[in-house]
Amino acid sequence: MIELLHNPPRFLFLTGKGGVGKTSIACATAVDLARRGNRVLLVSTDPASNVGQVFGQRVGYTITPIVGVDGLDALEIDPEAAAEEYRQRALAPIRVFLSVKDLADVTEQLSGSCTTEIASFNEFTAFLAGNDIAQGYDHIVFDTAPTGHTVRLLKLPGEWTSFLEDGLGDASCLGPMAGLDKTRTTYADALTALADPSVTRLGLVARPQTSSLAEASRTADELAEAGVHATHLVINGILPSEPIPDDLADAIRTEETAAIAAMPANLAGLAIDRLTLRTRDVMGLDALTTLLSETPDHTPALAAPRANTPADSSDSLAATIEQLAAKDHGLIMVVGKGGVGKTTMAAAIAVGLSDRGKDVLLTTTDPAAHLAWTVGEAAPFEVSSIDPAQAVADYRRHVMDTKGASLDADGRANLAEDLRSPCTEEVAVFQAFAAAVEQSAHRFVVMDTAPTGHTLLLMDATGSYHREVVRNLPEQAGLTPLARLQDPDNTSVIVVTLPETTPVLEATGLAADLTRANITTWGWIVNRSLTPTGTTSPLLTERINAEQVPLKQVKTQASRVAITPYRNTPPVGINQLRQLITA
């Protein structure tokens, strides 16, 4: 039995950087617990959840029994549905007292991404605080959003508890004052449950790679600051030994062994499970049943017949950059699921454009991004990041210096208290995002975005701001960030994915969401493909064969596709990024 499932408490959290296998491991954990005779609820807090895809059935925003597993139910918290319910509850007590205009204004104020986040958070804390639904289950397993969003989610109970205890809560984010006493109790109970290891087990999931383990270490430290301590580490996807020598496979094993041996001290002290790489995507009950085993699922003595995939120069990253470089300026947004390599692709595109003589700003909206580490210190272009903490500090200072300048001491004190609301971060980050987008009018701005769900929340804030400008300053509607995003002459959106079923499905959904927002997808990058490599490893050859279906799915829906080869180590530094471009 793996350590994660040894004497499990009632709540189990699985979190980590995107693409490390959190959802698969959460689903396998829930299946294992249910088959021991427990009543289990699997809850996804990821705005881009794919629990239903893993089980091969529709789940959604209702308690859904999992077919084939007695005692197991699942629920995907739908941010939009949760936000709509939250809005209706907040508006119900005041609807009859407001004019049509005032009601419209309040409704608009409750339409931003902050409301969406708080609504989802209310759903999440209700389980920890022991709501009626939770009472019927022996265990609740949480499949969480990628790291940056999860850290914020888990820190919110403490932030909101402090905010409420100080008497600062008002109707702007939390709803009518009448409900605050109940809210205060719920958040306090949730924080107590999160901080008690006898009640809650928090497992970090990582890949056997230096960057992934470093991310897990940072997550552990940030959560510890909020009083929530990780107890377990799952290292997922370790390449097992094989009887056939292979340069790529041998290099991968060497790199993985070194990364695990040198993992940060705060991870080395946790209970650690090591799971081997599987030959195919973990989809369906059969695959979930074997996932938590340290035994390889299939290691033939000889490689299986390899798919015949002739190379095509038009599929290269260099060809994509050449097309982008035909312009002199513009916004290039690199979007996709966590863990697919958005940061690396954004950095490579910036290097390629800079090498072609373009003025480039490389920036990120991802709180868990590693731009500086990926590019190195010798970048021949500007590199920046939208740091939420710095953005909040700058925003608070600006508001106090402008709006607060004409207030008396009591007014300034009240304004400072209002700016302590966690919702302030939404406004601050959006303003920093808008400032970066503005620069695309005269230079290339290559933007590495946060994982899918968080990016969609940022797009929601962009839309809310645009609607506000259209209503109050219609002459400036064409200058808003959303207007620039919707202009294909200004913005090129590139979707990054992996040659695997689930990432391609999620990328397809993201492209559809952007289309509904009138934002055109310019092209796709399929990253870390084994297909262009010359590996003879039996297991890796099995994975090459499995890549062909998702690769075909991408090519049938995208007019521009670049395929980058799998590398045993992440491309770090300008020279390695250049090699990736020409690979």
Q: Of the residues 15, 29, 46, 315, which is catalytic?
A: 46
Length of the chain: 583
Residue 46 designated active-site? yes
Per the structure block, which two tokens stand in for 503? 């990432």
3-state SS track over 80-138 = HHHHHHHHHHHHCCCHHHCCHHHHHHHHHHCCCHHHHHHHHHHHHHHHHCCCCCHHHCC
Q: Annotate 524-556 with b (16+ C-beta within 10 A) or e (fewer).
A: bbbbbbbbbbebbbbbbbbbbbbbeebbebbee
Residue 150 designated active-site? no
DSSP string, 50-71: -HHHHHTS---SS-EEPTT-TT
Q: Of the residues 16, 18, 19, 237, which is catalytic?
A: 19
Residue 68 designated active-site? no
Q: Of the residues 21, 148, 175, 352, which is catalytic?
A: 21
**What are the backbone angles phi and psi of residue 555, rounded to the nearest 5°?**
-70, -25
**What are the backbone angles phi and psi of residue 424, rounded to the nearest 5°?**
-60, -30
Report how far residue 560's alpha carbon sits from residue 551's, in angstroms, rounded to the nearest whole number. Answer: 13
What angle is formed at CA 245 by the lines to CA 241 and CA 248, rounded to 5 degrees?
85
Residues 6+ positions from 264 with CB-CB distance below 8 Å: 213, 214, 217
Residue 410 designated active-site? no
Cβ atoms of 334 and 355 within 8 Å: the answer is no
Residue 23 designated active-site? yes
- Closest to 349 measured CA to CA, from 338, 340, 339, 360: 360
Report how far residue 173's alpha carbon sits from residue 169's, in angstroms, rounded to the nearest whole number. Answer: 8
* CA 48 to chain CA centroid, nearest Å: 8
- Closest to 116 measured CA to CA, from 563, 522, 455: 455
Alpha helices in 196-237 (DSSP H): 210-225
List the strands of the sheet with 271-276, edge to edge: 64-65, 72-76, 40-44, 139-143, 11-15, 200-206, 232-238, 271-276
Residue 19 designated active-site? yes
Report how far residue 439's alpha carbon sits from residue 231's, in angstroms, rounded to the nearest whole number. Answer: 44
Burial of 318 (0-12, 13-18, 19+ CB in 10 A): middle
Burial of 310 (0-12, 13-18, 19+ CB in 10 A): exposed
Place of tokens 């620069």: 439
Report how far residue 472's alpha carbon sits from residue 491's, in angstroms, rounded to the nearest whole number. Answer: 25
Q: Of the residues 15, 16, 17, 23, which is catalytic?
A: 23
Q: Of the residues 22, 155, 337, 358, which is catalytic?
A: 22
Q: Of the residues 15, 16, 17, 24, which is catalytic?
A: 24
Residue 421 designated active-site? no
The catalytic residue positions are 19, 21-24, 46, 502
